Chain A
């Protein structure tokens, strides 16, 4: 059996077929579905989930779970905004935000890997804690007014019609 076809019989193959069916259905019933614009939008909406899901694959394969990823995302983003609003240059704020994500992950792995606590409860507490820290930073304000180049990066096409998000997606998947 050729590798290509055996792939089809597994769960992933089933999902692929389902995806094709959904796309076909929508393409037939919704005008403008197959335009580049539409597809770019679709990706933009889900890119965060996709990245997180890719990483979660490794965690779940190891029979563990991480409930705190959403809160880590929020904390990272809030920290970046907080620092930027406080006067730090955007690039620096971004770097610190990313670093915060790493530190949060290390915090989880300390309790799970070294102390040996169950991953369910550690990440449950992480979920609440990281979100809480985000609250402490931003309280109930919101921060906007990011530099133009930053907004451009996230929302406008980068290479040809493809925005940064799609490039990250294809890069991570391969």
Chain B
């Protein structure tokens, strides 16, 4: 039992609970809705979660440092629209260049956030609220209230959503979902195994200590914002591929969805705790509930938002109340393991003063 406790921190338990919750909810809806356990359901949920999942990963990186990025919704809309418009005029641009363009645009927009927050010392909530409005306004201006239309986009883009990467039996793993999976895996690796990623946790855990600890904390926070923007740009590309028709209000609300996904997924809003994988699970949980409520005949679909809001509140409340107790119990137990409350020496005896 002790060995188990040594292996798993309370945060990992939370992720297991999330998985159990998702499974439980899937089973519940399976009993309520006909043909719930079909490949179509999997496809529907997986493609719809892709955009938010990618953005939520970037948001997690920023939240871990005790900051927040509210501009991602505008970045998603901006990149989707601009890339879509460019493609409409030049159908021949190679796909890889298109993706790179979206990511680069997002990175530039994220770097503005990063500069102001990390070096300008302006609070992140204010900077990103400002860029949320700024980027959206620029989009409205340059669009002239036109929309991107599906029939003007190159065929390969429009045909992207149904493309499968691989099929496991009857389940199709769509390309767009696969991109999201890839993003989650890569950044989960970075968060767990890369020195850069570990420093994100340090910065959120104790910003004062991080400043004098001997690693470049400001640069790391800046990079987190650039990555958040870049991932939002990537999500913009996925958004474009999925919907085709892009209006100037594209992506509105995505920032709140990504924060909700992260928070439900166990990322602590004060930084230092949580993981991209957790945010991914949070996004899935929210999307499963969202998608399933529509099909559930017992309750009108209009309860969606109300239940969703309640879910987020409960997630954070349990986080705070239960996790605090769990953490205390963990620490108390481990202190006993090491023998005493203070460093213990071998063969220690008191010397005369």
Indicate whether A and B are direct neighbours in the complex (CB within 8 Å).
yes
B28 contacts across to A, CB distance below 8 A: none
B309–A130 contact, CB under 8 A? yes
Shortest Cβ distance from residue A7 to the other chain B in the assembled complex, whole angstroms: 23
Among residues 117 to 133 in chain A, which have CB atoms less than 8 Å away from a CB atom of chain B?
A: 117-118, 120-122, 124-133
Among residues 100 to 134 in chain A, which have CB atoms less than 8 Å away from a CB atom of chain B?
A: 111, 115-118, 120-122, 124-133
Question: Bound state CA distance, A25 and B317, in angstroms?
Answer: 51
A135–B306 contact, CB under 8 A? yes
A126–B309 contact, CB under 8 A? yes
B304–A121 contact, CB under 8 A? no
A116–B320 contact, CB under 8 A? yes
A117–B310 contact, CB under 8 A? no
A127 contacts across to B, CB distance below 8 A: 256, 309
Question: Bound state CA distance, A156 and B321, in angstroms?
Answer: 51
Among residues 309 to 324 in chain B, which have CB atoms less than 8 Å away from a CB atom of chain A?
A: 309-313, 316-317, 320-321
A136 contacts across to B, CB distance below 8 A: 300, 302-303, 306
Contact (A65, B125) CB under 8 Å given A121-B263, A124-B259, A133-B306: yes
Which residue of chain B is the closest to A116 with respect to CB atoms?
A: B320
Report if A12 contacts B (CB, 8 A).
Answer: no
Contact (A132, B313) CB under 8 Å given A121-B263, A124-B260: no
| Size category of the binding interface on chain B | 20 to 34
Contact with A along B206-230 (1 / 0, CB 8 A): 0000000000000000000000000
| A-B residue pairs in contact (CB < 8 Å), sample of 23 | A111-B313, A115-B320, A116-B320, A117-B316, A117-B320, A121-B259, A121-B312, A121-B313, A122-B316, A124-B260, A125-B309, A125-B312, A125-B313, A126-B309, A128-B256, A128-B305, A129-B305, A129-B306, A129-B310, A131-B309, A132-B306, A132-B308, A136-B306
| Size category of the binding interface on chain A | 20 to 34
Say what secondary structure dominates the interface of chain A. helix
Contact with A along B86-106 (1 / 0, CB 8 A): 000000000000000000000
Shortest Cβ distance from residue B200 to the other chain A in the assembled complex, whole angstroms: 19
8 additional contacts (CB under 8 A) given A124-B312, A135-B306 = A111-B313, A115-B317, A117-B316, A118-B269, A121-B269, A131-B305, A132-B305, A140-B302
Question: Bound state CA distance, A55 and B174, in angstroms?
Answer: 48
Question: Bound state CA distance, A121 and B300, in angstroms?
Answer: 26
Most buried by A among B309, B310, B312, B317: B309
Question: Bound state CA distance, A130 and B317, in angstroms?
Answer: 18
A118 contacts across to B, CB distance below 8 A: 269-270, 316
Which residue of chain A is the closest to B307 with respect to CB atoms?
A: A132
Most buried by B among A65, A115, A125, A133: A125
B269–A132 contact, CB under 8 A? no
A122 contacts across to B, CB distance below 8 A: 313, 316
Contact with B along A54-96 (1 / 0, CB 8 A): 0000000000010000000000000000000000000000000
B308 contacts across to A, CB distance below 8 A: 128-129, 132
Question: Bound state CA distance, A127 and B255, in angstroms?
Answer: 13
A132–B309 contact, CB under 8 A? yes
Shortest Cβ distance from residue A37 to the other chain B in the assembled complex, whole angstroms: 28
Question: Bound state CA distance, A33 and B311, in angstroms?
Answer: 49
B317 contacts across to A, CB distance below 8 A: 111, 115, 117
A139–B300 contact, CB under 8 A? yes
Which residue of chain B is the closest to A115 with respect to CB atoms?
A: B317
Question: Bound state CA distance, A91 and B58, in angstroms?
Answer: 49
Question: Bound state CA distance, A72 and B277, in angstroms?
Answer: 33
Which residue of chain A is the closest to B308 with respect to CB atoms?
A: A128
B312–A135 contact, CB under 8 A? no
B263 contacts across to A, CB distance below 8 A: 121, 124
A132–B304 contact, CB under 8 A? yes
B269 contacts across to A, CB distance below 8 A: 118, 120-121
A116 contacts across to B, CB distance below 8 A: 320
Question: Bound state CA distance, A66 and B259, in angstroms?
Answer: 15
Shortest Cβ distance from residue B349 to the other chain A in the assembled complex, whole angstroms: 46
Question: Bound state CA distance, A131 and B320, in angstroms?
Answer: 25
Which residue of chain A is the closest to B269 with respect to CB atoms?
A: A118
A125–B302 contact, CB under 8 A? no
Which residue of chain A is the closest to B303 with respect to CB atoms?
A: A136
Question: Bound state CA distance, A127 and B263, in angstroms?
Answer: 15
Question: Bound state CA distance, A149 and B263, in angstroms?
Answer: 46
A117 contacts across to B, CB distance below 8 A: 316-317, 320
